[in-house]
A = this chain, B = another copy of it.
Amino acid sequence: MKLSYNPPRLVTSVEGVECSGLKCEKGGLGLVKCSGRVAGVFTKNKFRAAPVTVTEEHIADGVLEGIIVNSGNANACTGDEGIKNAKRMAEMFAEKLRCDPKDVAVSSTGVIGLQLDMGWIEEMFEKVYPAIDNSEDSSWKFAKSITTTDAFEKQWGLKVGDAVVAGVAKGAGMIAPNMATMLAYVFTDAKVEELDEMLGNAVARTFNAITVDGDTSTNDTVLFVSTGKKKTDEKRIKKALMRVCSVLAEMIAADGEGATKLMRVFVSGARNDDEAHTAAKTIASSILVKTALFGCDANWGRIIAALGYSGVELNEKITLEVTGCKWSAEEAFGLNYDEYELNDELNNKLKNESKTKIKILERGREVGERERVRKIMEVSEVVEFHVDLGIGEGKGCVVGCDLSHDYVELNSKYTT
């Protein structure tokens, strides 16, 4: 599912950020020069790729000078040689930047279980490094260089007063055969004190609230870098970071293999926010809900069954409403515009476009609108399920996608 969009700001409009990237048949290599402070969040999969281990160590002191990324080979399950190669990538870039290799972050994405072809990496590096600059074109070249089977490049950013918050990502769908990884790099030129806390908050509500196939990868990495050139209200940066992450995360969900529709599952009335998140994630991950979405079947029994085994507190008085719309970045994760956005004009426009929610279940009783719902599902890029458990104040949103024939096709036919 290819999204059409036009980012208000690019990563190269962040002062102090320069990019370059090149993609060829064998894979890609991308570079970011970004002297500043950094925070990171990494995969919880017990098998961590070598670059994840190396990068976590390199950013422990919070100092960063650059990022080097290759696509095509994940450098995962590669033992000591993998670690050596990841370190060599950092050194390569550090030599040019005249900095400590420990101030360079490294990412890899692609096939698991093969050693990197370091000759090829060095060759690519020599081509990519001289092209580093802060042009718009270079930001897109970097975005492209880190993709594997992504259907489109993912970049989004916002202006916050004088400052900019902008990021680049690559898709998470575990396609052929182990193109596993979600990578995201968000930059700001604003000075930020609490980088770790701010990133942790944003990731919990965005990148950790998407589900494509329920699998997590060996290489997932999110970095947040502040070049510290501008002074801006930190609360506004926090909101902007949340928005940038929410848009990038929805782009990743939309790029789930074979996906034809995005699904936003909003759960309210749960015992607490954690249970709301669990309930929403269980629904959005259910293969049966995903296939029903693909078939535009307003099959509330499957949503009820998923809630029933989600483990959260429930009674039978569940209310379920459905709505659908075209995708727009401004509505990612349904984040409240007042709370997270900065543009009054857009804000007012969205408030006035109240979407029609159609009720399917009211406090446990079917209220019979299946046919109307089917029609809305058929014409929508995004289908939203609003579930009210009617128990407490907990709420949460998880974004997923449908499961289509193309998913099975892509994931079964790959041959190494």
Residues of A within 8 A of B (CB): 44-47, 76-77, 79, 111-113, 174, 177-178, 180, 213-218, 286-288, 291-292, 294-295, 297, 299-302, 304-309, 314, 316, 364, 366, 370, 374, 403-405, 407-409, 411-416
Among B113, B291, B297, B308, the residue within 8 A (CB) of A300 is B113
| 7 A-B pairs with least C-beta separation | A295-B412, A178-B301, A291-B411, A112-B301, A45-B308, A47-B308, A294-B412
Answer whether A408 and B411 are a contact pair too, CB < 8 Å, given A177-B301, A305-B218. Answer: no
Query: Are A45 and B408 in contact, CB atoms less than 8 angstroms apart?
Result: no
How far apart are the CA atoms of A111 and B77 in the complex, in Å?
Answer: 46
Task: Give Cα A295–Cα B304 distance, bound, in whole angstroms.
Answer: 32
Q: Which residues of B contact A413 (CB under 8 A)?
A: 295
Dominant secondary structure of chain A at its interface with chain B: loop
Please indicate the chain B residues that have their CB under 8 angstroms from the CB of A374 in the complex: 415
Note all chain B residues with C-beta closer than 8 A to A416. Answer: 297, 299, 370
Collect the chain B residues with CB atoms within 8 Å of residue A308's CB.
Answer: 45-47, 216, 218
Q: Is the CB of A292 within 8 A of B177?
A: yes
Give the chain B neighbours of A178 by CB distance below 8 A. 299, 301-302, 305
Chain B residues near A300: list those with CB within 8 A: 113
Q: List 30 A-B contacts (CB under 8 A).
A: A45-B305, A46-B308, A46-B314, A47-B304, A47-B316, A79-B316, A177-B297, A177-B301, A178-B299, A178-B301, A213-B286, A214-B286, A215-B286, A215-B302, A215-B305, A216-B308, A217-B305, A218-B304, A287-B287, A287-B411, A291-B412, A295-B413, A297-B412, A297-B414, A297-B415, A299-B416, A403-B408, A404-B408, A405-B405, A407-B408
Q: Kindly provide the distance from the CB of A285 to the nearest chain B CB, expressed in whole angstroms.
A: 8
A411 near B217: Cβ-Cβ < 8 Å: no
Known: A404-B408, A405-B405. A309 touches B414 (CB 8 A): no
Please judge, given known A-B contacts A291-B412, A308-B46, A408-B403, whether A113 and B180 are in contact too, CB under 8 Å.
no
Given the known inter-chain contacts A297-B414, A299-B177, A414-B295, please indicate yes or no for A306 contacting B408, CB distance below 8 A: no
Q: Which residues of B contact A111 (CB under 8 A)?
A: 301
A111 to B370, CA, bound (A): 15
Q: In this complex, what residue of B is CB-closest to A258? A: B408
A301 to B179, CA, bound (A): 10
Q: Which residue of B is nearest A409, CB measured?
A: B405
Q: Which single residue of chain B is at the shortest CB-CB distance from A77?
A: B304
Taking the closest CB of chain B, its distance from the CB of A219, in whole angstroms, is: 10
- Among B46, B291, B305, which residue has its beta carbon within 8 angstroms of that of A180? B305
- Kindly state the separation between the CA atoms of A29 and B291 in the bound complex, as whole angstroms: 30
Q: Which residues of B have CB within 8 Å of A215?
A: 286-288, 302, 305-306, 309
A408/B309 in contact, CB under 8 A: no
Selected contact of A309 from candidates B79, B216, B302, B316, CB within 8 Å: B216
Known A-B contacts A214-B287, A297-B177; A79 and B364 likewise in contact (beta carbons under 8 Å)? yes
Most chain B CB within 10 A, of A177, A213, A308, is at A308
Contact residues in B for A366 (Cβ distance below 8 Å): 113
- The one of B286, B302, B408 in contact with A291, judged by C-beta atoms closer than 8 angstroms, is B408
